[in-house]
Structure 1
Amino acid sequence: MKKINSVLSVLILLIVVGCSSEKVSEKNMKVEELNKKIVVYQVFTRLFGNTNSTNKPWGTIEENGVGKFNDFTDKALSEIKDLGVTHIWYTGVPHHDVIRDYTKFGISNDDPDVVKGRAGSPYAVKDYYNVNPDLAVNIENRLQEFENLIGRSHKNSLKVLIDIVPNHVARNYQSISNPEGTKDFGADDNKLVEYDVNNNFYYVPKKEFQVPDFLNGYVPLGGENHPLSDREFDENPAKWTGNGSRSPKPSFYDWYETVKVNYGISPEGKKDFDELPAGFENEDYKKHFAFWQDKTVPNSWIKFRDIALYWISKGVDGFRYDMAEMVPVEFWSYMNSAIKMKNPDAFLLAEVYNPKMYRAYIKKGKMDYLYDKVQLYDTIKNVMQGRGLTDHIPPIQEDLKDIEHHMLHFLENHDEQRIASPEFAGNANKAKPAMVVSATISTAPTMIYFGQEFGEDGSENPGFGTSSRTSIFDYVGVPAIQRWANNNQFDGGKSTKEELALRDFYKRLLNFTITSDALMGAYQDIHQFNRENTEWYNEKVLSFVRWSDTEKLIVISNFNSENIYGFELGLPQDVIEKWNLKDGEYPLKDQLYKKHSAKLFVKNNQATVRIDIKPLESFILQLQ
């Protein structure tokens, strides 16, 4: 008996020590993440490794080519990592509608009348428990090929993100990969009623779905004959369309390729589920998880939670949630807390465009990050285009100061125009000052879109949609990426000097951001102070300071593409005090190119540094 007790004591000790080590490790990991900036590289998976440059309008895979999971080799991933990237968002992974015959693999054909483009929208998901067959070399082994990519990404110290699109699914959602016991969306719906709390969809009883009238000369597949392209799609009764249209015949401008998911909100707006108690926004994810354990929730909530946990179990490190604001905040509390219970470090990013709802989705919905689109991006875009003033940027940081860490910054993504396109700025170098500001003004993550670092202009127009945005609907090559990939050697062998110089700028900037202590520390605007007190300082320049206990930075950017500016940049007295600067000279060294140096002169509570800044130039001056 003593021997047994002794063995039990040892086992208990080992368990306790193991748990303690795990907690310490988890704590250290979280501290490390909080102390360094995050950089997300969004890559459109099927386009990245495509070496075919044909770019025929409405071209097939055979004509225009397609990238594969296997094209993300260790070499490719290490180069992405070396750019200064910490997380990679593989866009378009879940199996969505595509116009390609995969019936021999048990996959039903998709109807061109309700599919945008030939390659299909990644936001019309057809099977959440598998991956896009286009992306696999061996179709039957497609899920394993993606799991192998997750493994390679982790080996190269990159965390993996994929999309989840909770607001809508493809009109013909049909999973052939459901785990045992899992039913398809809509399988148990009562289709005789418009709404039931546990229906997965909303219906238009006694009405058949009608294909929308195509406008602006659009014809599916560019007019190519296809057995299913007959302006018919069998859906009876009709379902509400993804963007909320209740018409059995949606508009061409509606998201007609998708159907809206029902989260237990009646057509009149009544919530048929429990709401979070007052003050619960201040509770952590563990309390949120516990709150939902004895609650009955709509069936769609359970389905999407299970989908997310399925991908977490595969090694995915987080998600980008499409149009998250079209789904109730309470659902996000339910799902995100369940994810965090499985992986406390999961990275949860939401597409939310309503500033009045930001704090609700962060605090109640337990989102880690939201797009800073309608404030910083839209404002900085106007400045880049020469229409806006830098004066409008500091008030944004002031408005968001309580949640600034949660507002992810970007200048490009799959929804936005390419900076180098004529429709945006027409010059990739105009991104430089904006990128410095975007990446250094807050503690929030930075995101770039593949090809942005080379100045890709998005001029290809291979089918559905228009140029200026790299197509997400069709098979296309991305010329700037193809030149850098150099037949998948990923060595920049065919890139132009200008492209390589731009990438070098991004690499220097992003790598600095992920190592800087100051960029996870304090921020203060000095722009307004200099606007009021410094001659020649103007509305095309922006400046601010960042600091920590170990690092002090002065950041200044010139958004003007033509003019050199020279002035004595000043620091306000409170910054002098916070930095504990005594009278004297302080060397400053630029951290972008390490070539520029200056001196900060402090005397009688005044601090100035001489700045001569070229068009589109930026300095990140570190106090030595």
Structure 2
Amino acid sequence: MRPGGRIRIAFVLCTTALCACAAPPAVPVASPTAPAPAATLTPRVTDAPTATPRAARPTPTPDRRPVIASPAWFNDATLYQVFVRSFYDADGDGVGDLRGLQQKLDYIQSLGVNTIWLNPHYPSRTYHGYDVTDYRAVNPQFGTLDDFKALVGEIKRRGMHLIVDFVANHASKGHPFFQDAYGNPRSPYTRWFLFKDANNLSYDSFYGVADLPEWNHSNREVNAYLIGAAEFWLDLGVDGLRADYARGVERWFWEDLRKAVKAKHPDAVLLGEVWDGEPSTLQRYFDEGFDALFDFPWYLRLSGGENAVGKGVLNGAVDPLLLQPAYRAMLQLYPRGAQIVRFASNHDTNRIASSVQGDPARMRLAAAVSILTPGIPIIYYGEEIGMRGVKGPGPIYDEFRREPMDWYASEAGPGMTTWFRPDNRNNRPHDGVSVEEQDGDPDSLLNYYRALIRLRNEHAALRDANFRMMDAVPHCPTCMGLWRWAGDEVIAMIFNFGGQRQRAMLDAAASPAPIGAPARFLLGEPQPLDALEIGAWGAFVISWQ
């Protein structure tokens, strides 16, 4: 969750332990559910000469970083973020719901996704749901607790996983405990919140938003209440918690939450939102008890910031070397076992299609670099079809980043949500951005996403923790390269973050593990490795086994 108008934290000078780059700047009609013929990225073998592999490298220096016991299943996850209100409407009231989500599991699975992150599904007084009034119930606009249980059961039957939002920093002004304590110093819940006057009329809230009073985590009753709520959903079969605004909550709460959760549900994933541009800040939250964190340092450099358009590495505005510290932190800074979630946009940011000003090549580049490079990828609903979304001009803001999922070319049909349809919305009928318009087109963005996720699912090297950055890609100053490997497979990948065609060179002898010939091109047309013609905003992914 992000407050409006929050000042961005500037990137500081990279330490030599993490990068060898200059200090980066501050960054500010039937429903189409069954998968249609999908785009395929068919591996192609090249007869081009391959450099003679070097001998196996010596055993590396022992890694003395601490180890955390994170859930192994999450390493193989590909996530799909669902803003329930906007996704699919099963009862015809214009608002998405849990039964609608269940009806669209075929579509989600057709992407290759195996894990869903559900934005808040709790009762709330706002459309976004981050002001929770009851932590053990379902928003009646979304359905019932039985609907939630049915959704969990169907997700389990399909071998998928479900993560739910968990809001521990603040409650709703409408929460019954706060209602009892507000203006009532004798209330038993006075110490549950952070009142600042003797009459319980002034209180601390999330970034000063009166509707979001903050919990008092110095009160163990509060912590027991919230941890009990987390266990309630995990006991129903939920596989993990996405902790909203983790930075606002004291360390001891996260440590206690981890202890309680892992005692009963050792495979549950604890995923934290730590919105900061520095890997060193994220490191501290792994120490506090999280298995996984969103890679905000990487995202902010890639996009130029959550409100940016035409900025960042993805738009060629800054050097791609600025992405390297985020990757190197995975190898040198974070604990072993730490899990990093890679995203190109979410409900609090401009959508990637708007960030790149609708350029199809850069949309595909964003998809490739977020899905295939080290980390656990997440796709924000509609990103896979190129939905646009930028922060609104006010007084309505983030609703424009959370518009109804475009299922149909006409934006009308069964299940289409209609809760937000202003005249100045970002997405329009017959704009080429809908599941209906792209599902059957093998060259569509939708089927490109499917093909990329298929590659990740089929190649263990694209999910394994082993990787190494290329210090540079010879002859391509706008390129970033890295190696990945697992078992007997080695993969090299090169991404061109520039608007000009480049001729790059790949030295196969620089592989971190022995490789053989021939090379297979998983992405990009086969070419000689010493003269790779990489298009503007293009990518190569090359495999040896």
Higher strand share: 1
Partner in structure 2 of residue 478 of structure 1: 405
Partner in structure 1 of residue 245 of structure 2: 323
Shift of 1:553: 0.4
Partner in structure 1 of residue 223 of structure 2: 301
Partner in structure 2 of residue 544 of structure 1: 482
Shift of 1:523: 1.1
The answer to whether the Cα contact below 8 Å between 1:198 and 1:300 also exists between their aligned partners in 2 is no
SS of the residue corresponding to residue 378 of structure 2 reads strand
- CA deviations on 1:483-503 (whole Å, 9 max, x unpaired) are 7996359x9434488897101
**Match for 1:130: what amino acid?**
A
From 507, 511, 515, give the equivalent of 2:450. 507
Shift of 1:149: 1.2
Partner in structure 1 of residue 40 of structure 2: none
Shift of 1:134: 0.9
In 2, Cα distance between equivalents of 1:529 and 1:393 = 12
Shift of 1:202: 0.9
From 552, 565, 579, give the equivalent of 2:513. 579
**Match for 1:523: what amino acid?**
F
SS of the residue corresponding to residue 493 of structure 1 reads helix
**Match for 1:511: what amino acid?**
R
Structure 1 residues 17-416: aligned runs within 5 Å: 33=73, 36-50=75-89, 65-74=94-103, 76-98=104-126, 120-136=127-143, 142-174=144-176, 184=177, 192=185, 199-206=191-198, 237-243=201-207, 254-264=208-218, 298-354=220-276, 355=278, 356-363=280-287, 365-373=288-296, 375-381=297-303, 382-401=312-331, 402-403=333-334, 405-416=338-349
Partner in structure 2 of residue 523 of structure 1: 467
In 1, Cα distance between equivalents of 2:220 and 2:71 = 36
- CA deviations on 1:567-595 (whole Å, 9 max, x unpaired) are 32224x5x34x42358xxx2222224xx7
The answer to whether the Cα contact below 8 Å between 1:48 and 1:481 also exists between their aligned partners in 2 is no
The answer to whether the Cα contact below 8 Å between 1:43 and 1:450 also exists between their aligned partners in 2 is yes
Pair member with larger Rg = 1
In 2, Cα distance between equivalents of 1:164 and 1:362 = 17
In 1, Cα distance between equivalents of 2:116 and 2:348 = 17
- With over 3 angstroms needed to count, the CA separation of the structure-2 counterparts of 1:329 and 1:418, relative to structure 1, is same
The answer to whether the Cα contact below 8 Å between 2:81 and 2:378 also exists between their aligned partners in 1 is yes
Shift of 1:521: 4.0
Shift of 1:167: 0.3
Matched, 1:616 2:526: no
Higher helix share: 1
Partner in structure 2 of residue 426 of structure 1: 358
**Match for 2:382: what amino acid?**
G
In 2, Cα distance between equivalents of 1:41 and 1:581 = 34
In 1, Cα distance between equivalents of 2:367 and 2:128 = 29
Contiguous gaps of at least 5 residues in structure 2 = 1-68, 304-311, 417-433
- With over 3 angstroms needed to count, the CA separation of the structure-2 counterparts of 1:348 and 1:169, relative to structure 1, is same
SS of the residue corresponding to residue 258 of structure 1 reads coil
In 2, Cα distance between equivalents of 1:460 and 1:187 = 36
Partner in structure 2 of residue 248 of structure 1: none
The answer to whether the Cα contact below 8 Å between 1:200 and 1:261 also exists between their aligned partners in 2 is yes
In 1, Cα distance between equivalents of 2:341 and 2:95 = 30
The answer to whether the Cα contact below 8 Å between 2:240 and 2:270 also exists between their aligned partners in 1 is yes
Identity of aligned residues (%): 23
TM, length-normalised to structure 2: 0.74
The answer to whether the Cα contact below 8 Å between 1:160 and 1:316 also exists between their aligned partners in 2 is yes
In 1, Cα distance between equivalents of 2:412 and 2:379 = 18
TM, length-normalised to structure 1: 0.65
- With over 3 angstroms needed to count, the CA separation of the structure-2 counterparts of 1:487 and 1:32, relative to structure 1, is same
SS of the residue corresponding to residue 414 of structure 1 reads coil
- With over 3 angstroms needed to count, the CA separation of the structure-2 counterparts of 1:500 and 1:408, relative to structure 1, is same
**Match for 1:37: what amino acid?**
D
RMSD, aligned CA: 3.4
In 2, Cα distance between equivalents of 1:125 and 1:566 = 54
Shift of 1:396: 2.6
In 2, Cα distance between equivalents of 1:96 and 1:369 = 27
Partner in structure 1 of residue 57 of structure 2: none
In 1, Cα distance between equivalents of 2:234 and 2:204 = 30
In 2, Cα distance between equivalents of 1:623 and 1:164 = 42
In 2, Cα distance between equivalents of 1:48 and 1:372 = 25
| Paired residues, number | 447
The answer to whether the Cα contact below 8 Å between 1:483 and 1:492 also exists between their aligned partners in 2 is no
- With over 3 angstroms needed to count, the CA separation of the structure-2 counterparts of 1:460 and 1:31, relative to structure 1, is closer
- With over 3 angstroms needed to count, the CA separation of the structure-2 counterparts of 1:371 and 1:38, relative to structure 1, is same
In 2, Cα distance between equivalents of 1:485 and 1:503 = 20
